Each structure stands twice: as structure tokens, then as C-alpha cells.
Chain A
Amino acid sequence: MHIIVCIKQTPDHEGPRESYEINHDLNIVVPRGIPPVLSLFDENALEAALRIKDQRDDVKITIVSIGKKISNAVMIRALAAGADELIKMEDELFESHKLDSGATAQVMAKTVKRIGNYDLILVGRQASDWNSGYMGISLGSILNIPCITFAQKVDVQSDALIVNRVVDNGYEILTSSLPAVVMVTNELGELRYPAMKARREAKKKSIIKWNAADINLDEGKQLPKQPLVLVSLKHPSIPEKACRYIEASDPQTAGKKLIQLLVENNVLP
């Protein structure tokens, strides 16, 4: 069984606000001093694939990442965790602000078709940079295969897919045929941490480099026009408060003092 996991490379989402510099002339975000990482929820998608691999012997996991430039140093983490190969779909055309999620799905669909055989495609809930959350549904629609969103558990039983889906205040257990696209959410759990040995061995795994021409996408002629126009980017203002610090001889007393103060100020009854 062949599982494709779509992983985007994004600037570290835990960077301080100053690190997301805005270039107003070009209307783009320029990350400063923060390293690229695996987009947060894509780690959960990979973990879902690895759990299926834990259960069966016939699983091959291929990672596909689309971008202007994909760093081996970032992707090695995914290979070390247990993926078998990486396809880097690199091109000037694929810069993150040039490709919305719909266009990404078009590129991904062509990439997947070039790969040929696959049983399951896993994507993350939303990319940590543009936070859209609909690449998976677009991909399913282009490939004309089912798409299940917000999966917290993904199982393959004989030839059927069984997914536990999170809904607001509830869950659903769903089944569909394969191949299918599944969007994975963080409830599934964190990506396992690779051992040192696995990290070393990961460097020997296969890394394939393709570009737009390899999937017959040249000069962006076939890239769909982005329906939305980005007008402006700005930093949000969060109103800061003057924090009143409670100090005392020891932390326990500080806690007690705080409760007294909260009651005095009618914050607590």
C-alpha cells in the first residue's frame, strides 16, 4: 500500500512577531531569523501514515512537498520519523504567496498523477502560513476521489478506509473506498521523535527532485488564476495591559494574596 503525505515547508510558527516582517511594496511576508519547519498539522498527517505502517508490512510512505526551495535539513525529520522517500516539487512558480490552496491542489494532483499508483493521500488540517484548510478537499475533487476532513484516527481495514472524524462537540466514524484523501487534525497526536540512528539512516533515503516542467506545467500557463486579490498585510494590534505582579515571601503566600486581591476587586465573588 502506497501512502502519499503532503508536507509544506513553512516558517516556524512559534517565532516571535518581529520575525514575520512585512514587505509592503511587494505585499509579502518575509520571515526573518526563524528557520523553516514542517508545517504543524502536516506532522500529524505523517504520524497518521506511520501508525498505518506500524500495523502492516506492505506500506510505503512518500512525502511530497511543493515550494520554491525545499530544505533537505527540514525534511530529514520526516524521513527519519519513518517516511521512505521524498519528492521535492521545486519551482520559482511555487513560492508560497504565488500559489493559493486551490492552485497548490492543481500542482499536487499533477504530481500525484505522475507518481502513478497510490492508495491514500494524507494532508494536514491547514498550512501554518496561510491557514486556508481546503487544499485536501480541492485535491480530492480534482482527482475525483473521496475526501474526509478533520480525521483524528485513520485506519485501513482490508481495502476500506475507516476514519474517526472530529466534529464540533462530537465524532463520526466513517468509511470510504480507497484511494482517498484524508485531512488530519492535531487530535490524532504528535509526530514521533526519531532516534539518532534513524536520523543518520534518513540521509541515505531517496530524494527526488522535480519541477514544473516535469508535470507539464510550464510558465505557469496552466496555473489557475487566484480568485482573490491580496490588498494589504499588516501586523495586528493587541492591546497590552499593565500587569499587576503579586509578590510575597514565598509563592504559596503570593497565591493566597492574589485570591484576596481578586475578591477585594470583585473579580471573584
Chain B
Amino acid sequence: MAKRYNFLVYVETDDKGVVTQLSLEALNAAKKTAEEGGASVSAMVIGEKVSRAVEELQFHNIDNIYVKEDVSLKYYRPRKFLAILIKIYRLLEPKLTIFGNSKNSLDFAARAAIQFDIALVTDCVKIEKDKEELLFTKPVYSNNVMAVYAGGSSPCIVTMRSKSTEPSERSELRQGEIIKLGEVDEPASEEYEILEAGALEDGGKKLADADIIVAGGRGIGGPEGFLELQKLADLLDGQVGSTRPPCDLGWVSPEVQVGITGTIVSPNVYFAVGLSGSFQHMAGMSGSKTIIAINSDSNANIFKISDYGIIGEYEPVLCGLISGIKGCST
């Protein structure tokens, strides 16, 4: 390849300053594509306290690590963050900029694509190199169709769907040049002001890390049913998950939604109770090692990707599961 291209990855950190799993995945996607085409990979970290993340990134075989640390950068602010990206962009002229598909990253990526007037592929699951061109695969039509886009000769921005690649692996070697960004042209004002910000119970993260998930769907019928699922989850030391409808109907808290617009999970065991198996949901859990479906409809889609199944009303089955674990006879 004649020209050496630069790739840039936006790295997010959690509230403890640790690089998020999604960012490690985005990093790996960049590294894998770079290997094919001999590109350099750089990362950028923006935040209030980023030293821990920067140190971690030095063990990931990255060429340059751009850093902007400031107390005013605790929360994502569109104009401030974009001003920083503009500065890096001028220095690096990246052919490809990769974000994770988190909410803030999606916001950031869209504003960047508009600013630089370049193509954006959101919710991308695969990046490939075809001769001189980059190809991006993205699920469309509610996960029923995969679209492959070509970026052409101009630069592109993508946001990577969670769990679409393995996370980048830590190496022994410490390397990578740390480039501290000095003054950045401050935007005159923000589009909006933050009045309050807070953390939730970490529902999504707990779910993403869970070993066992007991998920319910519309067939659970109400909040009471979810309390029963919670009992099973507690006995198994697992977490409760849900499809979209129970979240929207207020039966469970929205953080426990599994699927393309919720959390993408791949636990060891996934109980799918009273849910039909829509593609938007299955795309969020089909990576689970063992899937167990309980549904009154023998034709429900979910059985097609399940290892074990019980056809029937969930209430008595759940009762049986719970008493089966407790080991008492009823």
C-alpha cells in the first residue's frame, strides 16, 4: 500500500477512569483493519481524570495516544469535545475514526461527521478492507438485512456495535507516544447546560457482566411476574433481563433491556421466558452459551436458537424451576 493511513479510536472511560469494554472492542476493530492495510492506530482520551486509562492504553500497541484532561471535561459536552477532536483531526488526518456505539459516542460521532462533512456508519458490526477501500457492514431493517457500504476514497467515521469484535488484548510491552493537547479553541458556548447528572444502579453493566440472566418478555404479563423471575435470578446469583415491551410498559426498569437498543449480552446461561425472539432481541443475546426458552407458543422464534425448551405457560414452569433448585418437593 503506497500511502500509510491513520486510524483514530475514541476511547471512553467509566466512572472509575477505566477504559470501557466497548472502547477496547473499537480499538481491536481498528487494529485488525490496520493490520490488513498497514495503517497506524491512534487513540484519543478526553476527560477529567484520564491517567489510569492512558497508562492502560500504553499496553495496547497503539502508535499515538492523544490526551486532553481537564476538570471541565468530566461529562461529555458536544461543542467542547468536538473542538478537541478538530484539533486532533488536523494533526492526524485520519482515514477512519472509530467510536463505540455508546449513547455519548453516537452523539459525538454524528456531530463529527457533520463537522468534517464525511460519511458516518452507525451501529457497524464489521469493518473489512477490500483493495484500497474500506467496507462496513451494518444491520438494517430491524436486523433482518445486513447492508455493506463502501467508504470510497474519502475519510469515514463509524460507531461499532457492542460485542461485534473481541476486546483488544493487553500486551507486555509498554509503548505509544503520549501527545498532550495543549490549548484548544474554546467554543463560545454550549448548545445546552447540564443541571444535574447522576449514575444509575449500574443495571446495564451488571447485565453485561452477568454469568446467568433470567429474561422475561411481554408474555410475563406484569410487574408481579418479574418479581417471580427475580426470585429465580437471585437463587442462581444471576440478573434479570427483559425485552423492550416490559421496559416501555414500566414493568421493569429500562436499564435491563437486552437487545440492539438495550444491552448486548453473552452470559453462560440465558433464560428466555415469555418472549417471542424478535431479531432485535436475539441480536442482543444469541451469543449466550446456553439458551433456555419457556414459551406457550411452540412456534415461537426463540426455540430456534435455544438449547433447551419447555412449551407451556410460564408460571407453573417457573415454580418448578424454583423448587427444583431449592431441592424441596412441592
Contact = CB atoms under 8 A, between A and B. Distances in A.
Interface of A: 11, 13-15, 17, 20, 22, 29, 102, 125-126, 128-134, 137-138, 140-141, 146-150, 152, 161-163, 166-176, 180, 185-187, 189-190, 227-236, 238-241, 243-246, 250-262, 267-268
A229 B119 CA distance: 10
Given A129-B140, A170-B198, A170-B200, A190 B319 contact: no
A256 B291 contact: no
Given A133-B123, A166-B103, A255 B118 contact: no
Interface string B179-205: 000000000000111111111101111
B113 interface: yes
B43 interface: no
Interface stretch (B24-32, B60-68, B142-150, B163-171): B142-150
A190 B244 CA distance: 11
Given A228-B151, A229-B150, A244-B307, A168 B122 contact: no
Contacts of A171: 197-198, 200
B307 A243 contact: yes
Interface in B224-252: 236, 244, 247-250
B95 to A, nearest CB: 14
Given A14-B278, A259-B321, A174 B142 contact: no
Interface stretch (B2-10, B33-41, B85-93, B310-318): B310-318
B309 A255 contact: no
Contacts of B307: 241, 243-244
Given A128-B142, A243-B293, A228 B193 contact: no
Given A172-B197, A255-B324, 19 more contacts: A13-B142, A128-B141, A131-B123, A167-B197, A170-B199, A229-B149, A230-B148, A234-B145, A238-B305, A250-B316, A251-B310, A251-B320, A255-B320, A262-B290, A262-B308, A267-B268, A267-B269, A267-B290, A268-B212
Contact of B317 (A233, A244, A252): A252
B195 A175 contact: yes
Of B14, B103, B255, B278, chain A has the most CB atoms within 10 Å of the CB of B103
B106 A149 contact: yes
Interface residues of B, number: 96
Nearest to A229: B150
A141 B151 contact: no
A234 B113 CA distance: 26
Contacts of A128: 141-142
B175 interface: no
Interface of B: 14-15, 75-76, 102-104, 106-107, 110-111, 113-114, 118-123, 135-136, 138-152, 154, 156, 191-200, 202-205, 212, 236, 244, 247-250, 254-255, 260-261, 268-269, 278-280, 282, 286, 290-293, 303-313, 316-325, 330
A22 B319 contact: no
Of B114, B142, B244, chain A has the most CB atoms within 10 Å of the CB of B142
B149 A173 contact: no
A172 to B, nearest CB: 5
Nearest to B308: A244
Nearest to B303: A243
Contacts of A149: 103, 106-107
B318 A29 contact: no
Contact of B306 (A186, A228, A243): A243
B310 A245 contact: yes
A100 B102 CA distance: 21
B292 A141 contact: no
Nearest to A47: B248
Nearest to A235: B145
Contacts of B103: 149-150, 166-168
B147 A246 contact: no
A253 B254 CA distance: 33
Contact of B310 (A15, A239, A254): A254
Contacts of A252: 316-317, 319-320, 323, 330
Contact of B193 (A138, A175, A257): A175
A85 B287 CA distance: 45
10 contacts: A128-B141, A166-B103, A172-B196, A174-B195, A231-B148, A232-B148, A243-B309, A251-B316, A254-B310, A258-B317
